[in-house]
Amino acid sequence: MSEASRDSEIKKWISGARPRTLPAAIAPVLVGTALRHSDHRAINPFNALLALAVSLALQIAVNYSNDYSDGVKGTDDNRVGPMRLVASGAASAQAVKRAAILSFLIASVFGVLLASRVSWWMILVGAVAILAAWNYTGGARPYGYRGFGEISVFLFFGLVATIGSYVAQSDHISWQSFLVAIPVGALSCGILAVNNLRDLPKDAVVGKRTLAVRLGDRSARVLFVALLSVAHGSALLATVITPWAALSVLALPLTVRVIKTIYAGASGQDLIPVLGQVGKVQLLLSTTLAISLLL
């Protein structure tokens, strides 16, 4: 294989991993780990790195498994948005399935190592997360096709990931960890909501009943704005933990810009950059929240 071909192959798989969604994996670890500092206890950097590795590997695994499942079902045909490996023919369905399984295995290895350092019950939580990830678009009755995707994302990439990152530091759950998990989960849902809004017309045709399809275009846009509002509101509520949480308003100008784009009626290809912008909002808000907890 020539160097140019090898570079093209690598770029293809990186694109298939959907890098714009990775802030959803980084944000909960940032916030959950930083919360430990507000307990006036030292942060364990190795546990934090393990939690980050698990979160990133799971996010990539979800992206590959969705690519595979949607591709073999034919629901990605003529899809608007980033390249899908199976639907575009850039990679075989079996190759993408293997990439998903490998990513799940990597997440499992790091997860078991983390559990051995914290608590073995974390293995059970991880196993449930993997099952939920695979059955989002895979299996006989994928719940993502029935409008439950946002609920799953809020639970696993919001509550579980953030609280789990805190538990990796403290070995216990607190109400503070639940509170700071809400903005993370709401913005993860926001990323999915934009994705589903972009795909709404195509999903409706192929029978993929996402929440956006069930609500309709107008209500789906209202839901998206509500999710961003909940994210900012709950981040400000974290001032009960530390007054520095007010720094989260630094993400507000970017949030307002995104909301204006959505209310202006952006659709199809015009929503592709919005996906990245919501990821930036999540990363910015989570970073400022994490810094406030460290302060």
Report, in angstroms and rounded to the nearest whole number, the Rg of the chain calculated over CA atoms.
19
Asked whether 65 and 138 are in contact (CB, 8 A), the reply is: yes
- Lowest mean pLDDT of 11-15, 29-33, 75-79, 177-181, name the range: 75-79
Residue 22 has pLDDT above 70, yes or no: yes
Angle between the 45-73 and 121-134 helix axes, to the nearest 10 degrees?
30
CA atoms within 13 A on the CB side of 73: 20
Hunting for tokens 């991880």 — which residue is that? 126
Asked whether 150 and 165 are in contact (CB, 8 A), the reply is: no
Residue 80 has pLDDT above 80, yes or no: no
Rounded CA separation 136/79 (Å): 18
Rounded CA separation 65/86 (Å): 11
Residue 198 has pLDDT above 70, yes or no: yes
* Average pLDDT rounded to a whole number, residues 63-85: 77
Asked whether 171 and 119 are in contact (CB, 8 A), the reply is: yes
List of E strands, the chain: none
* Torsion-angle region of 74 (φ positive above 0: left; ψ -120 to 50: alpha; else: beta): left
Rounded CA separation 256/169 (Å): 34
Rounded CA separation 267/261 (Å): 9
Structural domain that includes position 286: 3-294
Rounded CA separation 87/249 (Å): 40
pLDDT for the residue numbered 184: 95
Residue 17 has pLDDT above 80, yes or no: yes
* Average pLDDT rounded to a whole number, residues 65-69: 89
Residue 260 has pLDDT above 70, yes or no: yes
Nearest by Cα to 157 from 180, 196, 185:
185
User: For residue 4, what are the contacts with CB-CB under 8 A and spacing of at least 6?
Assistant: none
Asked whether 32 and 145 are in contact (CB, 8 A), the reply is: no
Stated pTM of the model:
0.90
pLDDT for the residue numbered 183: 95
Rounded CA separation 143/98 (Å): 22
Backbone torsions φ then ψ of 247, nearest 5 degrees: -60, -20
Q: What is the tally of structural domains in the chain?
A: 1
List of E strands, 183-271: none
CATH code for the domain in which residue 43 is found: 1.10.600
